[in-house]
């Protein structure tokens, strides 16, 4: 259970023990060095999420109690419910990470699914599972807002 005294969560690059990728002047986009950089980044992220799942299971087993006080029992059930929702989102993210790792293996990583242009190293370091360039993602968000509006 977090106590509030833990260090802030590390960024993805720090988590993977990587520095921001610095491409050379004439370096081809998504060459072997770049794809390996993102492969390491994605695998470290996936491992961290899996560790969180394991910690949650352990925490829930260790902390599960049958409190006689209904308020205490409700508080524990709410805490567990929040943890399970978070883990469910992380489970979906793990699937997206695995899909992205497969795209790396198929040499289909780093290019926009809609227009085919380069997504960009910095955008991919910030969001390694991105499959749209910033322009296409912006347009998709605008369309989504209009449909909800």
Each residue of 55-109: pLDDT tens digit? 887 877 777 777 778 888 788 888 888 888 888 899 999 999 999 999 999 999 9
How many Å apart are CA 88 and CA 83, to the nearest integer?
9
Q: Would the annotation count 68 as a binding residue?
A: no
End-to-end CA distance of the chain: 40
pLDDT digits (tens, 9 = 90+) for 102-140: 999 999 999 999 999 999 999 999 999 999 999 999 999
Determine how many CB atoms are found less than 10 A away from the CB of residue 125: 18
Q: Would the annotation count 135 as a binding residue?
A: no
| pLDDT at residue number 10 | 60
Q: Would the annotation count 112 as a binding residue?
A: yes
How many Å apart are CA 49 and CA 59, to the nearest integer?
15
Domains and CATH numbers, the chain: 28-109 (1.20.120.910), 112-149 (no CATH)
Structure tokens at 121: 């190293």
Q: Would the annotation count 115 as a binding residue?
A: yes
């Amino acid at each position: 259970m977090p106590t509030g005294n833990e260090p802030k969560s590390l960024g993805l690059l720090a988590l993977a023990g990587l520095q921001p990728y610095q491409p050379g002047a004439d370096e081809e986009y998504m060459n072997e060095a770049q794809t390996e950089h993102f492969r390491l980044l994605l695998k470290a992220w996936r491992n961290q999420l899996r560790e969180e799942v394991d910690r949650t299971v352990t925490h829930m087993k260790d902390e599960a109690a049958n409190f006689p006080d209904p308020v205490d029992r409700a508080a524990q059930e709410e805490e567990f419910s929040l943890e399970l929702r978070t883990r469910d989102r992380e489970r979906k993210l793990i699937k997206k990470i695995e899909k992205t790792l497969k795209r790396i293996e198929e040499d289909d990583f780093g290019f926009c699914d809609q227009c085919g242009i380069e997504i960009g190293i910095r955008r991919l370091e910030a969001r390694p599972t991105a499959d749209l360039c910033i322009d296409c993602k912006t347009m998709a968000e605008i369309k989504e807002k209009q449909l909800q509006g």
